[in-house]
Amino acid sequence: MTLTPIVQAHGIARRDALRGTTLLQPTDFALYGGDQVAITGPSGAGKSVLLRALALLDPLSSGSVRWRGRPVTRAAIPLYRREIAYVRQRAAILDGTVEDNLRYPYSLRVYRDLRFDRGVARELAAHAGRGADFLERDASDLSGGEAQLMALIRVLQLQPQALLLDEPTASLDPESALAGEALIRAWFAQGTSPRAWVWISHDTAQAQRVGTRQLTMRAGVLSEAATPAAAGTASAREATTQDPPDAQHTREVRDTRTARGIDKESTR
């Protein structure tokens, strides 16, 4: 494969030093332009940990992330996060109206080349099935689902290259969830170079819809899902957890974490 992945992770792992547990086993993962990756798995398996690690939001205990084949320097991290946008599970709401919230990113240095475009914002809101007054509403009055749509619009208007979506529609009713999906699909179809997403979902039907490649996460181990959906697609590329000799051991550790509470590393 001569293509360079947008994001490539090499053996990234995370340990919770406080509790002495492993949150993410050393994992290799590559995201190419055009990829639609769905990740399922039980709560607490490390799905969010993986996405946050890919967004460089948490310190890694080992491994590295490359962006278009290059390591990400400190100075480039804001730009990296602009291109590889992580969308939180629960929307963060700022004071003010929905429009104030949508304007917020433009106050950041990394977006100084962009200007807020109300027309675009209205269009996205309409696409998400929101009324014409959506932008003027007080953000603190929004329901959880509406806030999540607002957060999606906040990111999508910025036209990132890749999205790391952490259950973006979990708090939406089925109808709004479909509207949210449609919004994201419209973003995916735009752009001059192929876009990509990693989409965490609890809903297996949704995972089937949004993933041409299906992965599962269990106890910090990422693997190809057993479902046949991924078979035959061009994107059945590497997504393996390096098989650490102590994988079994670590799982035992998770069960006996109280005993490990006195671990040196847990002392802060």
Which residue number, 65 or 230, has a Cβ lying nearer to another protein? 65
Contact call for residues 118 and 135 (beta carbons, < 8 A): yes
Contact call for residues 47 and 208 (beta carbons, < 8 A): no
Which residue number, 17 or 186, has a Cβ lying nearer to another protein? 17
Question: By CB under 8 A, is residue 268 in contact with another protein?
Answer: yes
Instruction: Give least dist CB 51 to another protein, A.
Output: 10
Stretch that binds another protein, among 3-11, 37-45, 52-60, 112-120 (CB under 8 A): 52-60
Among candidate residues 40, 26, 23, 29, the one with its CA nearest the CA of residue 7? 29
**Residue 131, both tokens:** 């009324």
Question: By CB under 8 A, is residue 114 in contact with another protein?
Answer: no
Instruction: Give least dist CB 108 to another protein, A.
Output: 5
Question: By CB under 8 A, is residue 105 in contact with another protein?
Answer: yes
Question: By CB under 8 A, is residue 82 in contact with another protein?
Answer: yes
Question: By CB under 8 A, is residue 79 in contact with another protein?
Answer: yes
Contact call for residues 32 and 5 (beta carbons, < 8 A): yes
Tell me the residue type at 21. T
Integer Cα distance of 65 and 9 in angstroms: 4
Site string for another protein, 57-76 (x = CB under 8 A): xxx--------------x--
The H or E element containing residue 149 is: helix 144-156
Site string for another protein, 5-24 (x = CB under 8 A): ------------xx------
Question: By CB under 8 A, is residue 178 in contact with another protein?
Answer: no
Instruction: Give least dist CB 260 to another protein, A.
Output: 15
Instruction: Give least dist CB 104 to another protein, A.
Output: 8
Q: Extract the runs of DSSP E, i.e. beta strands, from 148-237.
A: 162-166, 196-200, 213-218, 221-224
Long-range contact set of residues 125-130: C-beta below 8 Å, sequence gap at least 24 = 125/98, 125/149, 125/153, 127/179, 127/182, 127/183, 127/186, 128/152, 128/153, 128/176, 128/179, 128/180, 128/182, 128/183, 129/175, 129/176, 129/179
Integer Cα distance of 3 and 29 in angstroms: 15
Q: By CB under 8 A, how many residues form the interface with another protein?
A: 36
Question: By CB under 8 A, is residue 77 in contact with another protein?
Answer: yes
Question: By CB under 8 A, is residue 185 in contact with another protein?
Answer: no
Query: Can you give the binding site for another protein, defined by CB under 8 A?
Result: 17-18, 55-59, 74, 77-82, 85-88, 90-94, 104-105, 107-111, 151, 154-155, 158, 267-268
